A = this chain, B = another copy of it.
Amino acid sequence: MYVSHLECPKCSLTYESERLIQLCVCGSPLLVRYDLNKIRTVFSKDSLLNRKPDLWRYRELLPVKKQEHIVSLGEGMTPVLHLKNIGPELNMPALYMKDEGMLPSGTFKDRGAAVGVSRAKELGVKVLAMPTNGNAGGSWATYSAPANIRAIIIMPKDAPAINLKEVSVKGADLYLVDGLISDAGKIVGRAVSQHGWFDASTLKEPYRIEGKKTMGLELAEQFNWEIPDVILYPTGGGVGIIGIYKALKELQELGWINDKMPRLVSVQSTGCAPIVKAWEEKKSESVFWDNAKTMAFGITVPKALGDFLVLDAVYKTDGCAIAVEDKQIIKAQQMIAAREGAFVCPEGAATLAAAIQLVKKNWIKADDTVVLLNTGTGLKYPQTVETNPPVLQPDDSISI
């Protein structure tokens, strides 16, 4: 393993990486740093040729020391689809979508959980706890099971039934709370300090980002190390955009890609857009968004712990932040399904809605290579589709 240390991006304090740690003493999330000079001598693009198509193909850039600690369900190397039907019509002939629905739990949360749980196992964690709106809980339950880690998952009582069921079947300890994810978070906070459990909440441990980072590594490889011009990312906690940015910086330091960065776009919903507001006001941090509400449940995060890192990535890459309405999300979801065949989650659909707006504003140009990040499968969101098909009798005939 090539981890050199952990570093606070806020106060620059460093920590050694072989002990269990949560946040920096200043309250900021910690980032994992690697000995990239050493990695450069042992890891090359050719190393990848014979490796399996999962995220562990980049193991030199991941924080697990021993192979035996890795828990894997084959996650990673999700496809990048060229949206050949809708792209040209929308004046984006080079429009692509990275489809994170094709992961073990149908969501990009699996990446953070695969790496986070593997590292937690390596560092001796026996019990972890986390609040969730649903998908992250499913993913951490997924990997905790083979890792023999007991997972305590708390989610709002109105979370989708499929999320409750997947957490339960995977053997985690599931609790509901008569409240919001923030209430779940408070219960978790009290419990971890009382019982000494590991807190697996978003960004409260350093390794989830490393898993999410692999989206950036894969995109670079899948575009043959020629970075696309624009990447649109639906932003709740923002771990993915932070991870993609970190991945590309590391690849630059390794000399695998040139200095060009993609313009990173943080996509939110008009019902919960703290990052967008901060970006519009040129702030470096966001302000808590009151009465957050959007059908894109996964990006209903009123104030993200890593907001300053998201904004930093957007500013440094000449990106932008943009909010879309729920009705635009639904329309985009239907468009991707009916024209390209992919049933995406509302958060993923939001990125297409945003791209359409950015073309109108001429911020995205026809010669840009544009990548939408679809963070999960629509199969976990049946409530987003209404249908009322005709019912036939066995003797009926049909025509069109």
**Minimal beta-carbon separation of A390 from chain B (angstroms):** 6
Residue from the list B103, B141, B333, B391 in contact with A157, Cβ < 8 A: B391
Hey, which chain B residues are within 8 Å of A53, CB to CB?
A: 53, 77
Residue in chain B with minimal CB distance to A168: B387
Residue from the list B101, B186, B378 in contact with A169, Cβ < 8 A: B378
Name 27 A/B residue pairs within 8 A (Cβ), A-sorted: A49-B50, A52-B79, A53-B77, A73-B340, A74-B78, A74-B81, A106-B379, A142-B342, A145-B337, A145-B338, A145-B340, A146-B339, A146-B340, A154-B398, A164-B387, A164-B389, A166-B343, A168-B385, A169-B343, A169-B378, A174-B389, A175-B390, A176-B389, A178-B391, A186-B394, A190-B397, A191-B399
Q: Is A105 an interface residue (CB 8 A)?
A: yes
Q: Is A400 an interface residue (CB 8 A)?
A: yes
Q: Is the beta-carbon distance between A177 and B99 smaller than 8 angstroms?
A: no
Hey, which chain B residues are within 8 Å of A325, CB to CB?
A: none
Stoichiometry, as copies per complex, reads 2
Using a CB-CB cutoff of 8 Å, which residues 353-400 of chain A contact chain B? Answer: 377-380, 382, 385, 387, 389-394, 396-400
Contact with B along A332-358 (1 / 0, CB 8 A): 011001111111000000000000000
Kindly state the separation between the CA atoms of A357 and B296 in the bound complex, as whole angstroms. 45
Q: Is A67 an interface residue (CB 8 A)?
A: no
Using a CB-CB cutoff of 8 Å, which residues 141-197 of chain A contact chain B? Answer: 141-146, 148, 150, 152, 154, 157, 161-162, 164-171, 173-179, 183, 186-187, 190-191, 194-195
Residue in chain B with minimal CB distance to A339: B145
**Minimal beta-carbon separation of A297 from chain B (angstroms):** 16
Known contacts A73-B81, A171-B337, A187-B397, then 7 further A-B pairs from the complex at CB < 8 Å, ordered by chain A residue: A73-B99, A101-B104, A106-B379, A145-B341, A186-B394, A191-B399, A195-B400
Residue in chain B with minimal CB distance to A174: B389
Residue in chain B with minimal CB distance to A171: B338
Hey, which chain B residues are within 8 Å of A190, CB to CB?
A: 397
Residue from the list B49, B334, B341, B396 in contact with A143, Cβ < 8 A: B341
Residue from the list B50, B99, B191, B392 in contact with A74, Cβ < 8 A: B99
Kindly state the separation between the CA atoms of A181 and B195 in the bound complex, as whole angstroms. 54
Hey, which chain B residues are within 8 Å of A191, CB to CB?
A: 397-399
Kindly state the separation between the CA atoms of A179 and B333 in the bound complex, as whole angstroms. 31
Residue from the list B72, B168, B382 in contact with A165, Cβ < 8 A: B382
Q: Is the beta-carbon distance between A175 and B341 smaller than 8 angstroms?
A: no
